[in-house]
Each structure stands twice: as structure tokens, then as C-alpha cells.
Structure 1
């Protein structure tokens, strides 16, 4: 059997993470993702969500647990996370957190990093930070070399922009690692508060 991670997309990870909270039907998943602004991180349509859920089921990462009908509404199939799906979330996040050059994957991995232990996340992010520092140095040296060779500045605009963004990304990550390392920074499974339960109930309608 093929490695399910090889076919797991960022949208698939977000859906699996939702099912880690509780079993849901796809419509509820979409309502929650829009409420939580996940669509700004991973764009989706009704069609891509249903298609992705079908693929997750084919890969053995989710399973059907029931079909409900409420009044005149269409039937809604509820899905639950399997043990393989639960493991796939942590394995995918563990793989993507330290990798550079995959911006969407990193944003999703960071959003779902709370599925890993704090110490492991710190280790993975410090690996990423070291890689970012090396890339910052590489861009800085390359730009300095180009300018010393009298390259026309207009040809270096994008390289200059990339250098600034890399440095900002590096500095943000360094500051976040310090915050995460502090024991007062809440991490891991959260309590299902009244506000959370109200959000879930609204998404089911």
C-alpha cells in the first residue's frame, strides 16, 4: 500500500484535524473552516472538500459512521478519524514544519503544530530557524556580490524583496520559539468551552 502521506494535501490535513476534534459531516467542516478563516490559508470549494473526503476515505484515514437527514435537507454522511488518519496528521506536520520553500504546507503545519508535543515542535522549528538563517546569509551575500559587480539595481528588486521577507520570517520565528518555550504559553488539546461548543452547534445548522 502506498504511503498515505504522499497523497495528503494541505486541505486533507485541515480536514483530518477537524475530525480529530469530533466526527463531522463535510458541510459542518466547511462551515467551521470558513468561520475560523481557514479558507484564507487553504482555498476550497464544496466540490474540493467532498472530493478530498472521498480520497481520505479511500486511503483509510477516515471512515463513515452514519447518515442523517434533518427535515427537507439532503442526507449528510458523518465521518470519523481512523487510527491511521490520526497518525497521518502528526507525521505530516512533523515532516513539513522544518522544510523551507513550501509556504502553504508550512502554514498548515504551523496551524496544526499543537497536535505534537511542545518539545518536538521546538526542535523542528529550531531546525527551520537554522535553515532560514543560512538562506538569509546566502541572499545577503549574493546581493552584495551583485552590487559590487555593478549590477543594475532594477534587476535586483525581487532578490532584495526576497531577502527582506526571509529576514522578517527568520525574526518572527525566533521570537515565536521564545514564546513557545515559555511554560505559560498554552499548548496542546484545549478544553471544549461554551464558546467552542456554540461555534460547533452553529456549524451543524
Structure 2
């Protein structure tokens, strides 16, 4: 049966059950103990929904039930043959094929002119500080993992996050510098938009379109 492959938590569940049968609470604890909740959005309610969906599609099946003391009975799930094929095929596809993702920061950048330039610079400087802190924390976690003897293979996603953090930090730092010193192309035009804004801070869209058209024509015509 064709199914969506849009939820990484479903991939995580299949990967765990590929190792051994587990009940959902054990899945949740295992993901947290291994730090995989840093890479996969995890909450207990959605985990149960994912398991139910995987069972519906024949990728996992109830293997047994167990009870500890006075706790409610828990269902232990196992991966099916179809699930085993699915997790390998899904993971292979993710590794092989780049896809367009939609990060929230990219969305924010696409609407950057909505804010006055000075406000944008101030906020981006705060982002630089936050990125530096996250980078330091991630470096500490990786150093701790190395100290315990954990093979890098099991923290490779953190190495990838570190590479993304470095790239984003370089980009934002450069953007802040050029916006701040006025060398970013079009920043003067951006300032004029907000200088002419109404009392509520909103910009006249017609004036923006006319100004942008004039700017493009001036660039094309050269000095």
C-alpha cells in the first residue's frame, strides 16, 4: 500500500523495531537516551499515532503484551517483513535524493523587508549569539561522546548539525555586517521604504513596486 514518507518519527520507530520488539514507552525512552530526539520531533501522543498508522499499513504488528506491577498493560510491537523492506528503502531514498525543505529561518528571510533595516540587524545579531551558544553546546556534547568512547558513527547527525550551524553562522554574520555598514545591495532602498511608511508602520506597496522597478532599471543601465 502506498503511504506518505513525510514523518521522520515513523522512520525512527521502524529503525528501533528493526533492532528488536519494543512497546511505545520503551521506544520513546530509547530515542531520548540516544539523543535522537534532537533530530526527530518526539512527543508521546504523536508516537502512539505513528505506531497505530504503521500497524494499519502492515509495517509493524503487535507481538505480545506485558505488565509491570500495577502499571497498565503495554503492547509490544515487532517489525514485519514489509516494514523491514520499507525502512531500508526509505532510508536509502533519504540518503540518496536531495529534497526541498522549508526551514523557518529561510521563510523569515524571504519576508525580511517587512521590518526596518535597523530592527532586522538587531534581531540578527541576537541570532548570532544564539547560534554561537548552540555551537558551543553541540561541541561539548560531541567531546563528551568522544570521551566515553562512543564511535562517531552514532553521532554523525550531530556532525551534520554542526556543519549547518557553521554555515548559518557565517552567513548571518556576513549579512549583519553588510546590512550594518550599508554595503548590502538595495539596503538604502529598503531604508526609504520604512522612512515613508505610514503611522502604523505599514509600507505603501505601490510605492515599493515603483521604487524597485526604478532600482532595477538603474542597475541595468549601469553607472
- TM-score of the superposed pair, with normalisation by structure 1: 0.49
Larger radius of gyration: 2
Q: TM-score, normalised by structure 2?
A: 0.45
Q: RCO (CA 8 Å, sep 6+): is it higher in 1 or 2? A: 1
